[in-house]
Amino acid sequence: MADVERPGADEFLPEKRDLRSLRAAAPDCRGCELYRDATQVVFSAGRAGAPLALVGEQPGDREDLEGEPFVGPAGRLLDQALEAAGIDRGDVYVTNAVKHFRFHRQGKRRIHEKPAVGNIVACHPWLEAEFAAVRPRLVVCLGATAARSVLGRPARIQEERGRVQESAEGRPVLVTTHPSALLRLRDDPGWDAAFDAFVGDLERAAKAAADLAAD
């Protein structure tokens, strides 16, 4: 078993790297300490060949219990935004930079904690294997943790959002906010503008993916 103080998921990846094999192998990952407290691994949803890959931060409480990504409130908001942007859910592969839920307990509640850099680094081999299996035309980073994982560096969301750039591997990437950030604005006067901006980023991502396919 890997030393969780020196994280890394490489040894837990299967020899065969298609999505089916990756999903089957992920529950056995011990690449960092998060597996100890999480209910289960939460891998991904979507198909190989999807033109867009959306990368979030990590599973939340609901995702941890159900074993599927983006099934909680942030996921419902993401679905609304995709529909508003005219993006078919079948054209989107959805995953997270970190595959286990990091949290602390407050009474009976489990409170989300941002993944540590070590967790992001440990889980990165899974993400790279997913990209190789899915071969998306463009990756959308939902929030700072996803951007850190995909770009390999810290990212300032408000400065970088909405434009296509390349990762170190030459992968087209667009950074935007995480839908959970929009949830915190639900009763704020700026909600409509924030939601429209998020939809606009998704529209730009879809157009960029289409343009890349035409090249």
Three-state SS across 47-102?
CCCCCEEEEECCCCHHHHHHCCCCCCHHHHHHHHHHHHCCCCHHHEEEEECCCCCC
pTM of the model: 0.95
Percent of the chain with pLDDT over 90: 89
* Per-residue model confidence (pLDDT) at position 214: 83
Mean of the pLDDT values across residues 124-138? Answer: 97
Q: pLDDT band at residue 5, thresholds of 50, 70 and 90? A: low
What is the residue extent of each domain of the chain? 10-214
| Domain covering 10-214, topology | Uracil-DNA Glycosylase, subunit E (3.40.470)
3-state SS class at 181 = helix
